[in-house]
Structure 1
Amino acid sequence: MRRSRGFTLIEVLLATVLLVAGLALAFSTLGAATRTATRGEAMAERSERMRTIENFLRTRLNAMRPVGFALDQSRGVTMRFAGEPERMRFVADLPDYLGRGGPYLHELVIEDDRSGGVRLTLGLAMVLAGEVVEEQPPRPPEVLADGLREVRFRYRTLDEDGRMGDWQDRWEAHEQLPLQVQILLVDRDGRVWPPLVVAPPLAPTFTAFNLPVQTQ
């Protein structure tokens, strides 16, 4: 009668090595799939965040109206738009879901976020008879985007030849709306958002005789 033959030590070791290799390959494949899925989710989340913020900004800028909100003391004209490198102010009707409706001063501001980056905030204040009405208690600014490396506001109009001029960092013709407004955003990791360019629908068409004087 033949005795059953067991496994030798070498065969056991070989089987163990093959099992370990198979498990290592399986875990490596699973880890790569997990990392790919995580990157995909992060990219989708970032894209959705970008679309949401850009759509909101585009909607607000497209709702811009040539309504005065203050008096420019230096020039004696009504301020309807004020554009600086780190702040932009204009009046637009506010939807009921954002407030009480009606014309509101929109103040977009670029601020330090205390972590080495910048953030973009929006302040809102009611406008009545050409003046800003302060709410009580004051409404704090809303953070639209944070974790950014850079945000830039730029403006432009026609040049003396009646062609579209260069982008300017300041808009000093406060009584007029610019023909185009641009907002540039850069993430903290250096990725540049698609440039947002909006032409306010109620901006006048300037002529060579009433072009605003602007400085770089």
Structure 2
Amino acid sequence: MNLSQAKQQSGFTLLEMMVAFSLLALLFLALFSSFHTMGRGWDAADRKLLKTEDTRLISEFLRNQLSQTIVVQIKGEKGPVYAFEGTDHYVRYAAPLQPLQHQGGIYLIELSVNRTGSERQLEMRYAPYRPDMSWDDAFKEVEPVLVYSGLGLVHFDYYAAESDKDDPRWQTDWVDKPVYPLLMRVMIEGKDHQAWPKLIVDLPQVDEYVGAS
């Protein structure tokens, strides 16, 4: 073996080093792409988990709150009226207020839907119940509290009949009626237009409370 052959075998040629660096760069690129894809997958999974948790929490809040509706009367334009009314974008009722249950007492509560740009948010107003006050009197100086924001749609419906001669049906308006609806339905969509599970709640009936006045 001569001297030139020994030098050739003792190291890498420039071409071999360029090929090696190219392969190494491709390896790092593949690894970076894999980590980026995995990161995006983890972010999507986290967002889906948070969205599912939000759906569960708001649904539980609404169900627990609305299912505690009780039959009482408040001041109306022509005398006492039952403390329940609603449209497709708000509902008013009387119930214990969950965050304040340790204080006892009944509250007049309003859940309303308000638009902020292209999104909607659910707000709440509440005031201690007094039979000599109307809805407007109770909420006159009460600022709304944000319940949930970033919604695409919130819609209230009421399953009821105005008399025992009529068949009950779903209605979007229940104001100045002599009885409580049989059921209340809440339909919600996220801002991505994905529908949440429908929430249907039983409401108390006046004929079950003979002593209500």
Q: Taking structure 1 as reference, are residues 120 and 131 closer, same or farther at Cα in structure 2, changes over 3 Å only?
A: same
**TM-score where L is the length of structure 1:** 0.81
Residue ranges of structure 1 left out of the alignment (5+ in a row): 207-216
Measure how far apart 1:161 and its partner are. Answer: 8.8
Residue identity opposite 1:116 in structure 2: S
Taking the TM superposition and a 5 Å limit, the aligned residue runs for 1:78-93 are 78-93=81-96
Residue identity opposite 1:110 in structure 2: V
Question: Once the two structures are superposed, what CA deviation does each residue of 1:18-64 show, in whole Å capped at 9, x if it has no partner?
Answer: 10111011011101111111111111111111111111110111100
Q: CA–CA distance in 2 between the matches of 1:28 and 1:90?
A: 55
Q: Which protein shows a greater Rg? A: 2
- Give the fraction of aligned pairs with identical amino acids, expressed as a percent: 25
Give the match for residue 122 of structure 1: 124
**TM-score where L is the length of structure 2:** 0.82
> More displaced, 164-173 or 148-157?
164-173
Q: CA–CA distance in 1 between the matches of 2:180 and 2:145?
A: 24
CA contact (8 A) 1:158 1:165 kept: yes
CA contact (8 A) 1:179 1:204 kept: no
Q: Taking structure 1 as reference, are residues 191 and 162 closer, same or farther at Cα in structure 2, changes over 3 Å only?
A: farther
Measure how far apart 1:158 and its partner are. Answer: 5.0
Residue ranges of structure 2 left out of the alignment (5+ in a row): 209-213
Residue identity opposite 2:60 in structure 1: N
Equivalent of residue 39 in structure 1, options 36, 44, 50: 44
Q: CA–CA distance in 2 between the matches of 1:29 and 1:161?
A: 66
Q: Taking structure 1 as reference, are residues 29 and 94 closer, same or farther at Cα in structure 2, changes over 3 Å only?
A: same
Measure how far apart 1:79 and its partner are. Answer: 2.8
Measure how far apart 1:186 and its partner are. Answer: 1.2
- How many corresponding residue pairs? 201
Give the match for residue 29 of structure 2: 24
Please tell me the root mean square deviation across aligned C-alpha atoms, in Å: 2.8
Equivalent of residue 13 in structure 2, options 8, 17, 22: 8
CA contact (8 A) 1:154 1:170 kept: yes
Q: CA–CA distance in 2 between the matches of 1:85 and 1:40?
A: 33
Is it true that 1:141 corresponds to 2:152 in the alignment? no
CA contact (8 A) 1:156 1:164 kept: no
